[in-house]
Homo-oligomer: A and B are copies of this chain.
Amino acid sequence: MQILDEINAPYHQIIKSTGEVDDQQLNDLNLSSELLLEMYEWMLKARLLDERLLKMQRQGRIGTFAPYSGQEASQIGSAFALKKSDWMFPSYRDIGSCLVHGMPIEQLVLYLKGFLQGGSPPEDVKVLPVQIIIGGQIPQAAGCAWASKIRKEQDVTISYFGDGATSQGDFHEGLNFASVLQLPVVFFCQNNQWAISVPIEKQMATKTIAQKAIAYDMKNIRVDGNDVLAVYKATLEAVEHARNGGGPTLIEAVTYRIGPHTTADDPKKYREQTEVTQWVDEKEPLIRYKKFLQNQGLLTEESEQQLRQKLELEISTEIEKAEKIVAEPLATSFDHVYDQPHANLLEQKIEVEKRTAEGR
């Protein structure tokens, strides 16, 4: 449809994949050198952590894990647009965003080790435990934003999800609620082209995800999800729109999952390696942004090496901290079913404690 192409036309980019920069937009954004570098630092930290976690999984030190390499620009750029007081409802793949929003690496590692403590971020970090049920967090994010609106607080809620999640009823119900009630929420979809083995053409008949916003008369933005500055700009626009009472936005960040779906997945079963190579060659977010920073005179190979070492050390330290921690015993779980365990549960807890104490 001609008209649709128009609606979806503005595919936002600031740094083209060729490395060219849209100076006008860059100037408008008016970012300090520090901030530009900081974004790179987080992207790199996320990438290094991803690589490390993958290794740890292979060594059996953590459980199944969903790598996010390739999606750093989307995750870091969007999270940078938030205030600390904003709420985040992530999916299992949004570790980069969680990091930026204050989730300690230590915490994430505990989660991936399957420790009870892993689900519980520090008090001042408004990041929900990662959602496993595809789309489940979407109406919840609407509800969370609704609470802020009712209390006339300025907080915005962001909900992360993938291209596959757009097929779920909860996506539809959540977006409809948000648009009817004009809630301060940003629906951030990372269209990484795949839902495990299902390519986007089998997921939906539409060429874009952004156009689904039309079903709700909702503001939409389609952005190059491998261009961290464009993602930052788009999300900031959506977040400010929400904060100013303008209501929700659906953002489609077009990106790519370079790795397997999870460590239990073998993408060779269903996709050509050439597709991956092509995306990486043309659009890889870190390479592109690094080039940009080098061109801007903000980064050298040398300073990048230093940064890398610093980050590796930070990651190692956090992982070590996590690995020193002992798993909460099963009995502790019983305390978190209700605010107070009921009689029956208490009895079972005592049974478990006894069993543990006696080493059975």
Contacts and interface: CB of A to CB of B under 8 A. Distances in A.
Nearest to A203: B180
Interface centre among A1, A4, A172, A206 (most CB of B within 10 A): A172
Contact of A206 (B7, B168, B215): B215
A249 interface: no
Interface string A168-197: 111111001001101000000000000000
A172 B204 CA distance: 11
Given A206-B217, A215-B214, A3 B1 contact: no
Q: Sort chain A's interface into a size bin.
A: 20 to 34
A173 B6 CA distance: 26
Contacts of A61: none
A7 B205 CA distance: 18
A215 B212 contact: yes
Interface in A47-96: none
A218 interface: yes
Interface string A202-231: 111111000110111110000000000000
A317 interface: no
A344 B7 CA distance: 60
A167 interface: yes
Interface centre among A169, A203, A218 (most CB of B within 10 A): A169
18 contacts: A4-B214, A4-B217, A168-B169, A168-B172, A168-B173, A172-B173, A180-B203, A180-B205, A204-B217, A205-B218, A206-B214, A206-B216, A206-B217, A207-B217, A211-B215, A212-B214, A214-B215, A215-B215
Interface of A: 1, 3-4, 6-7, 167-173, 176, 179-180, 182, 202-207, 211-212, 214-218
